[in-house]
Structure 1
Amino acid sequence: MSTDGLIDVHAHFVTDSYVRQATAAGHDKPDGVPAWPAWSAEAHLELMDRGGIETALLSVSSPGVFFGDADAARRLAREVNEDGAAVVREHPGRFGLFASLPVPDVDGALAEIAHAFDVLGADGVVLETNTHGVYLGDERLEPVFAELARRHAVVLLHPTSPVCWEQTALGRPRPMVEFIFDTARTVTDLLFAGTLERHPDLRVIVPHCGGALPVLADRINGFMKLFMPAEPDAPDAVAQLRRLYYDLAGPAFPRQVPALLGLADPDHLLYGSDYCWTPAPAAEAHAASFSEAPAPVDGTTWRSLTATNARTLFPRLSR
């Protein structure tokens, strides 16, 4: 594999069992998308080889694993994490895993964090932007973030539908617009709750070029200064946002990346395909764009830059 092999931090998998359980819970058209995608490790590897993707870190996308019943969510999280870990073991060096957690069940989430890292060797965890309206800044989730920070964990955020989607989505698939704003909503909630400031050891990946955050960052910063008690040495919202990582899944070029570069440092940018929810032809075209667009750091390409950043964030990928 080339040294410019991409490291995909935003790649998804589904299993037949997961689809059955999500469909039974009412997600027959997940987030307004007409049908569930098909996935297999073999098809994924073929796509990776065609696109020059060295390693893909797998995660379960929206709607996550919590459908209203905490015990069922615990069982489903354990099931998909075991399934994902089996794929990683069967294809050494080609896959990694972001484990799912059954939030907002805090006790279940803490148990699954221990299992994911200590037993399965997960590379990080994935958290949906909200679960039935519980956003990530909710004080009930503080023990989860404290434990993730203690472990210096990498946390991939993934958008999902807001509870008000029936009024706001206007009958259209929610990934188009709702996901972008729910990402901004939950990161803003983390900022106002002080979660990111309390836990600087958290390493958070914001998806889809930051969603709406690049154009909202200064507005959020202004409102935080107006309505939150100021501390002399506390960084502002923009400084906290700059500490986060951002994946470039979705239509990154030609407009979203320039906006993101006004907020994020180049060494915090990562490649993401969004396969299997992004169909293979579109994922291949997206991967090709990382060879075509000019990179923001002299002497690099988007492929080498994002791969180097990923190996720094996930040292095991360099071994």
Structure 2
Amino acid sequence: MGLYGLEEHFLTADVIAAWRRRDPQLAEPMMKWAVQSDITSALLDTGAGRLTAMDDAGIDTAVLSLTTPGLQNLDAAEAIALQGATNDAIAAAVRHHPGRFQGFAALATAAPPAAAGELRRAVTELGFNGALVNASSRGRALDAPEFWDIYEAAEDLRAPVYLHPSVPVPDVTAAYYRGFSEPVNSMLATGAFGWHYDAGLTVLRMIIAGVFDRFPALQVILGHWGEVVLFYLDRIAAMDQLLDLQRPIAEYFRSNIFVTPGGVSSHTYLRWTLETVGAERIMYASDYPFNQERAGSARRFLDDAPIDRATRERIAFRNWEELVAGIRR
């Protein structure tokens, strides 16, 4: 049984330099974690070290993506200048290790038309299988109409968009995620809770804003078991009578959104997700290197899950391969 990992992050020295130019103190928690911690070398490695980690976890193929905040906190001109080079670096890693790596495009969301053009290049010329974007771009949530050029290109290409969390905007962070010591403040705002809530709210806003009515074939992937919002669909249904959408909100999660564990290896969450959206909407992701699966734990998570063989295969490889097969090159 092949196993794909869809949230497998990397970083380049050029992106680090751009982050430092924008924020010499690396005040944003995820930048500091990526640049000044024990995972920095793993993020920079697209060679033997990463392959060894994949073998150890039991992951056959990793879909590489630029780690958060990616290019999305940069000025438009600098982000545009970096997106091509970053995607070329992913493409080089894929060429060096065919079968082990695939690519999600990094996009300059501060300039949506340029980002849409780069997505087309990445898919049609570099062979990428979609893009990974973070939930906000320079303080703007990605449901805003200014970003719809990206979704139009993704739908036209039939290429999925992985919507990854980003740090909540400063006003929200100050109101909800401060008042404690570091690193408690930073973790509360990011990996413990804040960025999951923020990403789930972003995809909910995309639905409410009509993104999926305008682009009905668009496919979005959410990590971390649907970024909280999946667990509140029964409650969110109260909004259906207030909206002029083509379908109930919950239906968009069963037709336009895929879900991955994103490194949260919970059979409880797996059972809930299966009941809520079905096996056809679940794929695997390990969130490397922020979460490092070891000693076959990625594969064991599926092997030990209380599911039948057909469901296990759908999550491990079949759903992803079917989705990728539909991309227009």
- Aligned partner of 2:176 in structure 1 is 168
Matched residues in 1 for 2:17 and 2:146: separation?
30
Per the normalisation by structure 2, the TM-score is 0.86
Distance change (3 Å), C-alpha of 1:70 and 1:154 = same
Does residue 275 of the first structure (1) align with residue 288 of the second (2)? yes
Of the three residues 196, 211, 226, the one matched with 1:180 is 196
- Aligned partner of 2:26 in structure 1 is 28
Of the three residues 107, 117, 128, the one matched with 2:123 is 117
SS in 1 for 2:99: coil
Two-structure CA RMSD over aligned residues (Å): 2.2
Matched residues in 1 for 2:78 and 2:137: separation?
14
How much does 1:51 deviate? 2.3
- Aligned partner of 1:42 in structure 2 is 48
How much does 1:25 deviate? 2.2
Of the three residues 3, 11, 16, the one matched with 1:14 is 11
- Aligned partner of 1:252 in structure 2 is 265
How much does 1:30 deviate? 4.7
Of the three residues 215, 232, 236, the one matched with 1:216 is 232
Of the three residues 128, 139, 149, the one matched with 2:145 is 139
Structure 1 residues 223-243: Cα deviation after superposition (integer angstroms, max 9, x where no partner): 2322x236xxx2111111111
The residue type equivalent to 1:175 in the other structure is: G
User: How many residues of Structure 1 are paired with residues of Structure 2 in the alignment?
Assistant: 307
- Aligned partner of 2:219 in structure 1 is 203
Give the ranges of 4+ consecutive aligned residues of structure 1 lying more than 6 Å apart after TM superposition: none
After superposition, residues 92-111 of structure 1 pair within 5 angstroms as 92-111=98-117
How much does 1:34 deviate? 5.5
Matched residues in 2 for 1:213 and 1:52: separation?
29
Does the aligned pair in 1 maintain the 2:164–2:223 contact within 8 Å? yes
Does the aligned pair in 1 maintain the 2:30–2:68 contact within 8 Å? no
How much does 1:49 deviate? 1.4
Distance change (3 Å), C-alpha of 1:91 and 1:300 = same
Distance change (3 Å), C-alpha of 1:91 and 1:30 = farther
How much does 1:97 deviate? 0.4
- % identical aligned pairs: 25
SS in 2 for 1:8: strand
The residue type equivalent to 1:15 in the other structure is: T
- Aligned partner of 1:309 in structure 2 is 319
How much does 1:124 deviate? 0.6
Structure 1 residues 92-113: Cα deviation after superposition (integer angstroms, max 9, x where no partner): 1110000011113122212212
Does the aligned pair in 2 maintain the 1:210–1:247 contact within 8 Å? yes
SS in 2 for 1:250: coil
Quick check: 65-74 or 272-281, which moved more?
272-281
Structure 1 residues 150-208: Cα deviation after superposition (integer angstroms, max 9, x where no partner): 11111111110110223322313212101210121111111111101221221211111
Matched residues in 2 for 1:70 and 1:299: separation?
47
Structure 1 residues 267-286: Cα deviation after superposition (integer angstroms, max 9, x where no partner): 111010100222354x9534
Does the aligned pair in 1 maintain the 2:132–2:163 contact within 8 Å? yes
The residue type equivalent to 1:18 in the other structure is: V
- Aligned partner of 2:83 in structure 1 is 77
Per the normalisation by structure 1, the TM-score is 0.89
SS in 1 for 2:186: coil
How much does 1:117 deviate? 1.9
Does the aligned pair in 2 maintain the 1:7–1:55 contact within 8 Å? yes
Matched residues in 2 for 1:32 and 1:58: separation?
18
Does residue 53 of the first structure (1) align with residue 59 of the second (2)? yes
Distance change (3 Å), C-alpha of 1:287 and 1:15 = farther
Matched residues in 2 for 1:219 and 1:167: separation?
25
Distance change (3 Å), C-alpha of 1:284 and 1:90 = same
5+ residue gaps, structure 2, are 179-184
Of the three residues 153, 156, 169, the one matched with 2:159 is 153
Does the aligned pair in 2 maintain the 1:188–1:220 contact within 8 Å? no
- Aligned partner of 2:181 in structure 1 is none
Does the aligned pair in 1 maintain the 2:57–2:296 contact within 8 Å? yes
Does the aligned pair in 1 maintain the 2:5–2:61 contact within 8 Å? yes
